[in-house]
Structure 1
Amino acid sequence: MSFLDDFLVRAALAGLGVALATAPLGCFVVWRRMAYFGDATAHAAILGVALALTFEVSIFAGALSVALLMALVSAGLSGRTHASDTLLGVLAHTALAAGLVAASFLSGVRIDLMGYLFGDILAVSRADLGVIWAGAALVALLIGWRWSALLTSTLNPDLAYAAGINPERERRVLMVALAIVVAVALKVVGALLIVSMLIIPAAAARPLSNGPERMAILAALAGSIAALGGLWGAWTFDTPTGPTIVCTAAVLFALATLGERVAALTTRRG
């Protein structure tokens, strides 16, 4: 009997895979203030699921394709006719609504909308686990390969141009990585909670970090603790797993913020 036969083991490994995929990317989402952009991409994944089931192709491929298309469309239109946050809000909710409407037209196909909206980590199969870890490895390699260029273009676009770096190209790299993360995390935390796992662990790591590399490492640690702690909490208290994972991440953020405040007060009194 393989240890992967245990659904809790598969769930734990899936949570760790998603945490490692979202950690470095989440740092850039926080630094670039791309939360709305992440929402639009994640919500589009539901439309991708509906289209994948309609044309009988891989759900991962459908979610990835539509998420990537949404990322490219929102980046191309942003700031041209409407403010960025307005446009992204329109695209995000339109994509989610269109996905839900498309799913309602599927006949003879059983679709667990709650699972895709809020995740169903306990139902992760071996195949899902392989996809999650392959996606996490791809995102890690992509971010690692472009780390210096991404960081420079994020902190100072003018300096990036002077160094021969194209900030727009680096933004496209982030779009591709974000689309992969959305497709990978869909099974674990669902379309409505994916951005939470991008933002909250990175935000929790920020007060404890004195550099970008340290923040990425601490974000990965916070995300891993949230995934495992949330899984344990859901199993113990019989609560929805995806939301419990996000709540655990929120507790870590609150503790990190409180610790920063206490440290600041102690320094002033000293």
Structure 2
Amino acid sequence: MLDDFMVRATLAGVGVACAAAPLGCFVVWRRMAYFGDATAHAAMLGVALSLALQTSVFVGTVAVALAMAVTVTVLSGRGYGMDTLLGVLAHSALAAGLVAVSFLSGVRLDLMAYLFGDLLAVGRLDLAVIWGGAALVVVLLAWRWSALLLSTLNEELARASDIDPRREEMFLTVALAITVAVAIKVVGVLLIAAMLIVPAAAARGLSRTPEVMAILAGAIGSFSTVAGLRAAYVFDTPAGPSIVCVAAACFLAVTLATGVGRRGARRG
């Protein structure tokens, strides 16, 4: 079954969706969209360092993503606006990564594959890394779910319950770094944030509890993967952007449907 490249691509996309869904909910609740974007952009520098040091791209991107998170945490309390700080670091890391890649000699690199993903070229080893990383993210979030949710809703209440919000934020950062590392092959550096945010945002309008929102986000992300791959195959379009376009269409449909429902309820 795994000899079929479309099967491997579908499994890889669904694996990323399963990891990004619950994590994306926290990104939406905490309004960390720009932080997720910055972490994803920093992954390009991790790719360059991995190729230069001849190490695993997964390890390099996780290391750089964590370094980005620590840098933001250290500098955020020193008079820098968070949006300005993330903007500077995100684009600086992306530019540095692209420049560093140009200095690599003897390395054949498809830059577009890292920027926009190369889902159809996923191999068995890539599939194992993606599902291993996704499983790690799901286990980590399931273990810390209650603490993360409480610290997200009310930091003072979390401290009163003997929960350190900064520690929970670090767990969230680690999960985000792992998700970015496994998603590079699927949607690329520039579209990772979209896979985190768009399915979760679509699920928000249909959910009454956080758990339901996480499950629906996973379902929307998985559907977007399957439908986007089918569209890419039929219309000969890039796989990663096609997946994000389907997710955006789901968000638009949910937004319109809930808007119409609310107007009907008011008239009634």
TM-score where L is the length of structure 1? 0.98
2:111 alignment partner, one of 110, 113, 135 = 113
2:221 alignment partner, one of 213, 220, 223 = 223
Backbone CA RMSD of aligned residues? 0.7
Local SS of the residue matching 2:189:
coil
Select between 64-73 and 215-224 the one with higher mean Cα deviation.
64-73
Distance in structure 1 (CA, Å) of the matches to 2:76 and 2:257? 37
Distance in structure 1 (CA, Å) of the matches to 2:175 and 2:70? 12
Matched length: 268
Which residue in 1 is equivalent to 2:256? 258
User: Do 1:40 and 1:71's aligned partners in 2 also have CA atoms closer than 8 Å?
Assistant: no
Distance in structure 2 (CA, Å) of the matches to 1:18 and 1:168? 26
Can you give the 5+ residue segments of structure 1 that lack an aligned partner in the other structure?
none
Q: Which amino acid aligns with 1:28?
A: F
Which residue in 2 is equivalent to 1:71? 69
1:130 is aligned to 2:133 = no
Which residue in 1 is equivalent to 2:167? 169
Which residue in 2 is equivalent to 1:194? 192
1:43 is aligned to 2:19 = no
- Please give the per-residue CA displacement for 1:202-260, whole angstroms capped at 9, x wherever unaligned: 00000100010000000000100111111111111011111111010000000110111
Distance in structure 2 (CA, Å) of the matches to 1:127 and 1:207? 37
* Deviation of 1:266 (Å): 1.2
Can you give the 5+ residue segments of structure 2 that lack an aligned partner in the other structure?
none
1:184 alignment partner, one of 182, 185, 188 = 182
Local SS of the residue matching 2:104:
coil
TM-score where L is the length of structure 2? 0.99
* Deviation of 1:193 (Å): 0.3
Select between 65-74 and 174-183 the one with higher mean Cα deviation.
65-74
Distance in structure 1 (CA, Å) of the matches to 2:114 and 2:77? 31
Runs of 4+ in 1 over 6 A off after TM superposition: none
Select between 69-78 and 249-258 the one with higher mean Cα deviation.
69-78
Local SS of the residue matching 2:79:
coil
* Deviation of 1:79 (Å): 4.0
Which residue in 2 is equivalent to 1:146? 144
Local SS of the residue matching 1:82:
coil
* Deviation of 1:75 (Å): 2.0
Q: Which amino acid aligns with 1:155?
A: L
Distance in structure 2 (CA, Å) of the matches to 1:247 and 1:116? 18
% same residue: 66
* Deviation of 1:81 (Å): 2.7
Alignment of 1:77-88 (within 5 A): 77-88=75-86
Local SS of the residue matching 2:190:
coil
